[in-house]
Amino acid sequence: MSIQTVNPVNNNVIKSFEEMTDSVVDKAVTQAASTFEIWKKTSYKHRSDLLHKLAKLMREKKETLATMITLEMGKLLVQAEGEILLSADILDYYADHGEKFLADKHLHPTHGEALIRYTPIGVLFGVEPWNFPYYQVARFAAPNIMIGNTIMVKHASIVPQCGIMIEELFKEAGFPKGLYTNLLMSGKRASALVSDKRIKGVSLTGSEVAGASLASEAGKYLKKSVLELGGSDAFIILEDADIDKAVDWAVVGRINNNGECCIASKRFIAVDAVADEFLKKFTDKMARLKIGDPMHKDTDVGPLSSEAAANQIAEQVDRAIKGGAKAILGGKRVEGEGSFMQVTVLIDMKPDNPVYYEELFGPVATFYRVKDEQAAIDLANDSPFGLGGSIFTKDIARGKRVADQMDTGMVFINHPTWTQADLPFGGTKGSGYGRELSELGIDEFVNKKLIRVSGLTDPF
């Protein structure tokens, strides 16, 4: 199988790579396991110093790294640069706080002394997606490197050069060989690798199908897994919301990363009292967005990540319309070269529509009108996904009450679902399990070892 960089602006093949052979992969796993035996004995300060150096390198090389993101998957260049800075912030965050997070937790048993000690578990295997090539890796790798684990990553096949660049950054920062390894291999072979006894834990960010496959293999071999899968985030607009502010954030929430974001706002739910005003202003603003080359500063929406991705969302929109929905904006592929999709707003989506429960990964919004707050909550929860959600209201206490009733891993009030180093990230239902980022993100792939001290005559 050939792994390729294809520029989605024109679908030209830029560079091709051959998959690693089984022998090369086996040697890489052997190296990672060997490096773990040394790395687990290093000090937190040493790990922290190297993570800080890695973060510094990323900031220094921001333009080069960001340009490759844009070339390979079509992210706006300014957003690609923002991704590099966010990734560096995550590295610094765990370098600064990892030792504190991993400090012994002293317990208070009835007799004697006890503590929980955090220890590494070994080689971890991550399968990462193309939509945030650096950020996804940073949030998986940084906490686990501080723990003392070693990292192997099978990156998405459409961003091979980003994957290679990440490994080169680790080497340049001074990390030992085998601490971080980039694997050029297919998804099918990735699932097979989970069975290797030297792999102790697996993490995947991607589709439900890929997640189910990897988790099945992990369960078969009794290995811990963390999954961050799809999302269909609801964006609720209550009658007391600041409509202009809600519209501004709605466009950002839907169009960020060309709409190819698991936490993008996808389902816009407005109560009757403000539905007409919100829909008109939202649609008007979406209609003014400029589609074009993501390298250009005046572009608002770039191409989809690949021709397959563009065809998929165009097919979903077509099925939605045939199923009774109406496109009041867009609805088709952009004519000409490249993997572009029109900015689209769909209304009249009903539960019997074949696309109603699907995730729309691209610049396509669905709008729903409901009678009141409870109807908005019910509709928001009527989804197989449970990643994030948003509530717009001037009454913060009310917003928190609504948030309590949303069946998601994250809820933001007066802001679309977002991410930063010190906030936990993850979902429920079909959106996966486990958490990344914040202190919770360092708790997944670690042995929480109980150490109990007591006198020989002390009763338990």
Q: What is the DSSP string of 350-370?
A: -TTSTTTTS---SSEEEEEEE
Which neighbouring-strand residues pair with 144? Answer: none
Find the catalytic residue in 262, 359, 373, 436.
Answer: 262
Q: CB–CB of 278/263 below 8 Å? A: no
CATH 3.40.309.10 in the chain is located at: 233-413
| CATH match of 2-229+431-451 with 3.40.605.10 | yes
The confidence score (pLDDT) of residue 187 equals 85
162 is catalytic: no
Find the catalytic residue in 228, 359, 373, 444.
Answer: 228
The percent of the chain in helix, strand and coil, each rounded to the nearest 5, is 40, 20, 35
- CA dist 355 and 366 (Å) reads 10
Number of helices (H), then strands (E), belonging to the chain: the values are: 13, 20
- CA dist 387 and 208 (Å) reads 13
- CA dist 16 and 2 (Å) reads 6
Which tokens go with 248?
């501004």
Which neighbouring-strand residues pair with 432? Answer: 228
At residue 335, φ and ψ (nearest 5 deg) are -70, 150
pTM (predicted TM-score): 0.96
Which tokens go with 418?
């977002």
228 is catalytic: yes
Question: Using the 8-state DSSP alphabet, how is residue 111 labeled?
Answer: S
- CA dist 325 and 445 (Å) reads 44
CATH 3.40.605.10 in the chain is located at: 2-229+431-451
Instruction: Please list, residue by residue across 115-130, b when 16 or more beta carbons sit within 10 angstroms of its beta carbon and e when fewer do.
Output: eeebebbbbbbbbbbb
The confidence score (pLDDT) of residue 177 equals 98
Q: What are the strands of the beta sheet with 105-107, ordered from one edge?
A: 105-107, 113-119, 447-453
Closest CA to 411 of 394, 428, 433: 428
The confidence score (pLDDT) of residue 458 equals 57
**Residue 460 three-state SS:** coil
The confidence score (pLDDT) of residue 111 equals 84
Q: CB–CB of 193/222 below 8 Å? A: no
Residue type, 370: V
How far is Cα of residue 80 from the mean position of the Cα atoms in its chain?
14
For residue 209, what are the CA distances in angstroms to 50, 216, 218, 441? Answer: 36, 11, 14, 24
Q: What count of other Cβ atoms lies within 10 Å of the Cβ of residue 165?
A: 19
Q: CB–CB of 172/56 below 8 Å? A: no
Chunked mean pLDDT (size 10), the chain, 460 residues: 90 96 97 98 98 98 98 98 98 98 95 95 98 98 98 97 98 98 92 95 95 94 97 98 98 98 98 98 98 98 98 98 98 97 98 98 98 98 98 98 98 98 98 98 98 72
Q: CB–CB of 50/173 below 8 Å? A: yes
- CA dist 137 and 159 (Å) reads 12
For residue 454, what are the CA distances in angstroms to 109, 112, 115? Answer: 10, 5, 12
CB-based burial label for 441 (10 Å; 0-12, 13-18, 19+): buried
Question: Using the 8-state DSSP alphabet, how is residue 203 labeled?
Answer: E
CB contact set of 44 (below 8 Å; sequence gap of 6+): 98, 99, 102, 146
- What is the topology classification, in CATH, of domain 233-413? Aldehyde Dehydrogenase; Chain A, domain 2 (3.40.309)
Q: CB–CB of 233/410 below 8 Å? A: no
The confidence score (pLDDT) of residue 116 equals 98
